[in-house]
Amino acid sequence: MKIHTVALLSPGDMGHAIAADLHQHSMNVITNLHGRSERTRSLARTAGINEVPDDETLVREADILLSIMPPANAYALGERIGAVLQRSKTELLFVDCNAIAPRTAQALDKLLTEAGAAFVDGGIIGGPPRSGQEGPHLYVSGTRAADVALLNEYGLDVRVVGSQPGQASGLKMCYASVTKGLTALATEALVAGRALGLQEALLAELQDLPVFASLKRSVPGMPPKAYRWVGEMQEIARTFADLGLPPQMPEGAAALYSFVESTELGLETPEQRQRGQTLEEVAEILAAALQARQA
């Protein structure tokens, strides 16, 4: 397979950074920004993404489409692109890179295959690529996964993990249950410690844990992303429930992230952070928001 053009929906925090990597390695990247915010448009311009006027042009010009968006929107995008494909009868390799349950990935496979696309399941592990730093791993599974791995020649780190849709998503779900689950648990404990007047003593004990250095980064970095992580934890809960495992831990994390999303910290964007730069600040602000909500 020859890859000349990659479509990317949508160029948010992760998407625009991946698009920038592709662009820097001479890949043509396109997107449809209809109805998107000025922030998203700015990120797309920064990444060197070319805008097309509509989805019909997008699927006609693209060889591969990378879907990178909040997991709650993943299936709706599949329906949207599937409808275009049914009208246009255009060939497309659709790669869902979102944090979704294997069951959701398999439903997307059925939807898009029936619409005439080839489908590959994907899962991104790691943060957005940054200059001078190692980028995330894009795990893929499905019969056409090897075609997606051709993007390794254009700056990405694509790793084939299996031949069945749902395998890459399953890996992402298991991994994120630990990383984002631990961030949620630590945030809840820190807010509780603050509310109980025990923050100083709690932090003194926590700093001896091997994971403390990681929590000092993950908890302050979490609030602007909390709105995306709600759906991700719900997908993890669905994954666990489908396997017969208790879903309550990721469900609790989803509830915690929903609370954070509703606060002033949750309204900030990653590139315009003003508050909540330390564990102490995050706990203080969230504890105040909790108290206000209970008043």
Tokens of 237: 């809960």
Is 203 found in the same domain as 93? no
Is 94 found in the same domain as 183? no
CATH number, residue 258: 1.10.1040.10
* Domain count within the chain: 2
**Domain span including residue 273:** 171-294
pLDDT digits (tens, 9 = 90+) for 124-162: 999 998 876 778 999 999 999 999 999 999 999 999 999
Is 189 found in the same domain as 115? no
Percent of the chain with pLDDT over 70: 100
Say what the pTM is.
0.94
Is 29 found in the same domain as 91? yes
Q: Is 242's pLDDT higher than 90? A: yes
CB 67 within 8 A of CB 59: no
The Cα 206–Cα 52 span in angstroms is: 50
Q: What number is the average pLDDT over the span 233-239?
A: 98
Backbone angles phi, psi at 48, to 5 degrees: 80, 25
Among the candidates 109, 136, 164, a domain finishes at 164
Q: Is 264's pLDDT higher than 70? A: yes
Is 43 found in the same domain as 158? yes
Where do we find the tokens 């003194």?
A: 204
- The per-residue pLDDT for 290 is 94
Higher per-residue pLDDT: 36 or 203: 203
Q: Is 1's pLDDT higher than 90? A: no
Angle, helices 167-195 vs 279-294, to 10°: value is 80
Q: Which helix (H) or strand (E) holds 7?
A: strand 5-9
- The per-residue pLDDT for 171 is 98
Among the candidates 112, 133, 164, a domain finishes at 164
Tokens of 190: 């820190």
Peptide bond just before 10 cis, omega within 30 deg: yes
CB 17 within 8 A of CB 47: yes
Range name among 27-31, 155-159, 183-187, 272-276 with the lowest pLDDT average: 272-276
Is 79 found in the same domain as 185? no
CB 254 within 8 A of CB 227: no
Mean pLDDT of the chain: 95
Tokens of 105: 């990935």
Range name among 104-108, 118-122, 203-207, 264-268 with the lowest pLDDT average: 264-268
Q: Is 179's pLDDT higher than 80? A: yes
pLDDT digits (tens, 9 = 90+) for 35-44: 888 999 999 9
CATH number, residue 138: 3.40.50.720
Q: Is 183's pLDDT higher than 70? A: yes
Binned at pLDDT 50, 70 and 90, residue 261 comes out as very high
Binned at pLDDT 50, 70 and 90, residue 90 comes out as confident
- The per-residue pLDDT for 132 is 66
Backbone angles phi, psi at 80, to 5 degrees: -65, -50
Where do we find the tokens 């689950």?
A: 181
Is 141 found in the same domain as 212? no
The strand pairing partners of 65, in sequence order, are 7, 94
